[in-house]
Structure 1
């Protein structure tokens, strides 16, 4: 989460866009992102320069000698009209043609990017504002993106909304990506899951950058994201490049349509697919409808995950609670498919405030492995009650946080076997899930301990009531005498 001071700085920049006539939130985010990206490029170049001096080595410059004036640190001090001329006529075309590979995600989605800041004075104010935002810290950069994206007040037509960064990080920690993984988010948005997976590998498996094949895999083949919103794709591509992933496979694609031919391709799915979307049957791939005949996007995406994963591939995805207990034929069919033909490992029930302020829907994280031959034995359930933030619209930091406990217990499930159903986590055998029509809601299995309250015998209670009544009558009698007196 950003500090109040940083939020205020971002809000002031946002206000400058707004008063200057750019009022569409996505356009503001897009223009804001371009400038953050330009600043980030200069900071990355400065870091490489310092590293080269320290190590006494040469490095390949992003900004050639004749393009040094296009760096943020150079043009930010210029007079407004001169800055405007350089940014609009030189810097922007430069970043659009920056990536040599014309088929890269960055080249594809920057090719139709448009510089829309209308006046030199407005650009100067925005550049000054952005220059005061510290961007060296990757977490701050990510939180800044999250805060910008949270300003999209209305959910998209297919029910998209932002996944909080700490929930994304928890899911990545639960799945522990490996340097060999091929990771996909078929509803990628701003690529938050892919960025977090990359950051996890940098932190925990830094050795991958010492092995040429793995380093090449990380930069070119590991990360795949699809979306149908070109603005979000552009933001996602820039987000990933700012996080050091050179050539992410971010593509325009309707993941649920016949256009998506992927099958048995990926080893890890990390996703929060659109909820409450409803599609026409003819817009959906036939092989998904064979698994689950429905128009509901949250069920179709589960069928898609099973199709696109390799055997042995894993999935951690967010689903609305209705997926876990819905009684329609389609709801039961997809649950049965995962439980009987693959290996369902865990259901983590999350409180409804996790997605506030833009949605109050109750959700859960579903974790499973594609096997094709079953394997579900005992399913691990966890009742998450707190996530480090208040569960109201304000989402202020609080002390209660189950996330570290969830990660620790999940990775040590052997020790969970003796837990009772009254505890926060417990196992449920697959036989019991079958008997309950594949219901996966935690409330179906959780037991609540009621403390027995012992009351005094009725005769004693009645005697006390009579004593109180006598006291009241006596008090009224004394009050009347005082009034008469």
Structure 2
């Protein structure tokens, strides 16, 4: 059996959860609580883990030897005890965990189905990769809404390959989701160090416990991230690799400076008092992505590098948006922008880019001299189930980017008919510091029938209007005028 076959079998178990009245959005969280116990069992049985991380009362054999209401009661009690466990990482994974299962027969069915899976085949690729596949499957089912925190794997792998994470570096994702970027960085380093065996024991310990750090706002998403990391051999500190908190609040200001930051911040404008509350950011904005850009610039070490997925509005938003872009180009060398195809994210209709930059210093000015733009959006196929988006679609961009993660490899401007062009800082300044740069005629542009759903268009319009309103309120506040409620 391939990993895809096993992922499909796991996803089919969601039919059992649906029969017990569990909401679509809770499928993976519910399944993961039981699945993690099973995976720990399989890793220990096969010798991949020398010791079992879970206590005796949470062993798989406990549940296979029970049935009926005794089984359900024991499972509920186990989740509660795990949430109060002395090991802070286990306690974090099962924090506030409760099963929504009400029928003992459904829990029995899940356990028997998990026992019937060919785990030997699954372990050839690693149980962490299997778990990652389940998260991706969940994200691809748009009804679950999981696409908001899942970045397509081909995009993550391409970004990590270009950024070339190194042993000994601190790597951060301030909007970690299910930890895809951090796990891909760890996988890259392991692939280039013979699974860390080329390192000293001290270096290996650093990689396992101190190299990676993420922050995630949503508790259930963070739970999935912690499980994902642990199954990939990444333990982190006492709170795990991914900490629970709001990067745009006081918790974010406590994150350390890092050598490499990889992230796909959440899209949208904050509503209902949920905006950035940090007082250490230079520019006040209700636009979450613009706030994340400021965090990333601030929390990169001098000489550090970043690759960040951002929607189009970050490139052209006026007012404070232009101020933040200028600040970015002063303190960092923004060397490359990749315009991504539409339709590759599970949140349809979103137009995104990847910004690649290196930090010069917090006090620097005019660090960016030229910005290279690669247009992978114009004249691209419409991606979906019939035309899947793969790592191969990045091959030409990766070749054009070059081998230097700081963007200093020799490059060639491909001219008005090519996809890769360079634009000087003075030319960008004349355009009001807009980075929304395109030149190719897009023959594959969507016709009216293929436009995003009206709700998507309405949401985009509302986000822009809210951003403009926030800027006007800031101007009134500076003038000493009260803003009417």
CA deviation after TM superposition for structure 1 residue 302, in Å: 0.3
Hey, what does 2:231 align to over in structure 1? 242
Helix, strand or coil at the partner of 1:355: coil
Q: 1:365-376 residue pairs with structure 2 within 5 A?
A: 365-372=354-361, 373=364, 374-376=366-368
* 2:37 corresponding residue in structure 1: 38
Residue 314 of structure 1 contacts residue 369 of structure 1 at CA under 8 Å; is this kept in 2? Answer: yes
Structural mapping, 1:46-445, within 5 Å: 46-48=45-47, 59-62=50-53, 67=56, 71-72=59-60, 74=61, 78=65, 80-81=67-68, 84=71, 88=75, 92=79, 96=83, 101-102=87-88, 104=89, 106-131=90-115, 132=117, 134=119, 135-136=122-123, 137-138=125-126, 139-151=129-141, 153=143, 155=145, 160-206=148-194, 208-209=196-197, 210-247=199-236, 248-262=240-254, 265-278=257-270, 280=273, 283-288=276-281, 290=282, 292-326=283-317, 328-356=318-346, 358-372=347-361, 373=364, 374-385=366-377, 391-394=382-385, 396-397=387-388, 401-412=392-403, 414-443=409-438
**3-state SS in 2 of match to 1:402:** helix
What's the RMSD between the two structures over aligned residues? 3.3
5+ residue gaps in structure 2? Answer: 444-485
Q: 1:448 to 1:196 in 2, by over 3 A?
A: same
Query: TM-score, normalization: structure 2?
Result: 0.77
How far, CA to CA, are the matches of 1:347 and 1:118 in structure 2? 50
Q: CA deviation at 1:109?
A: 3.8
Determine the C-alpha separation between the residues in 2 that align with 1:400 and 1:243.
21
8 Å contact 2:183–2:232 — kept in the other structure? yes
Q: CA deviation at 1:435?
A: 2.5
Q: Distance in 2 between matches of 1:233 and 1:447?
A: 40
Instruction: Return the offset for 1:275.
Output: 1.4
Q: Distance in 2 between matches of 1:263 and 1:63?
A: 29
After the TM superposition, which parts of structure 1 deviate over 6 Å for at least 4 consecutive aligned residues?
Answer: none
Q: Deviations over 1:163-202 (max 9, x none)?
A: 1122122221121111111111111121111111111111
Aligned residues: 424
Distance 2:378 2:228 in 1: 29
* CA deviations over 1:50-109 (Å, ceiling 9, x no partner): x9xxxxxxx545478xx4x9644x4676464398269616764675567x543x4x4224
Q: Cα 1:214–1:7, aligned 2, differ >3 Å: closer, same or farther?
A: closer
Distance in 2 of aligned mates of 1:165 and 1:294: 30
1:309 and 1:409, CA in 2 relative to 1: closer, same or farther beyond 3 A? Answer: same
Larger radius of gyration: 1
Structure 1 residue 429, shift from structure 2 partner? 2.5
Q: Which moved more, 1:314-323 or 1:15-24?
A: 15-24
How far 1:14 moved relative to its partner? 0.8
1:224 Cα deviation (Å)?
1.2
- CA distance in 2 between partners of 1:86 and 1:264 (Å): 43
Secondary structure in 2 matching 1:442: coil
SS of the residue 2:292 aligns to: helix
Structure-2 residue corresponding to 1:467: none
| Cα pair distance change 1:61/1:335, threshold 3 Å | closer
The whole-number CA distance in structure 2 between the counterparts of 1:46 and 1:230 is: 30
Instruction: Check whether the contact 2:340–2:354 (CA below 8 A) recurs between aligned residues.
Output: yes
Cα distance per residue 1:278-325 (max 9 Å; x no partner)? 25498521222x2x2321111111011111221122111111011112
Residue of structure 2 in register with 1:12 after alignment: 12
Q: Which runs of 5+ in 1 are unaligned?
A: 52-58, 451-485
Mapped to 1, the partners of 2:33 and 2:398 lie a distance apart of 36
Q: Deviations over 1:211-258 (max 9, x none)?
A: 122212112111111122111111111111011112333222111123
* Cα distance between partner residues in 2 of 1:346 and 1:429: 12
Deviates more, 1:114-123 or 1:11-20: 114-123
Secondary structure of the residue that 2:284 maps to in structure 1?
Answer: coil
Distance 1:281-1:107 versus aligned 2 partners, 3 A rule: closer
Shift of 1:410: 1.6
Tell me if the contact between 1:353 and 1:361 (Cα under 8 Å) persists in the aligned partners: yes
The verdict on how the C-alpha distance between 1:233 and 1:332 changes in structure 2, with shifts beyond 3 A counting, is same
TM-score after normalising by structure 1 = 0.77
Query: Kindly tell me: are residues 20 and 222 of structure 1, through their superposed partners in 2, closer, same or farther at Cα, counting changes over 3 Å?
Result: same
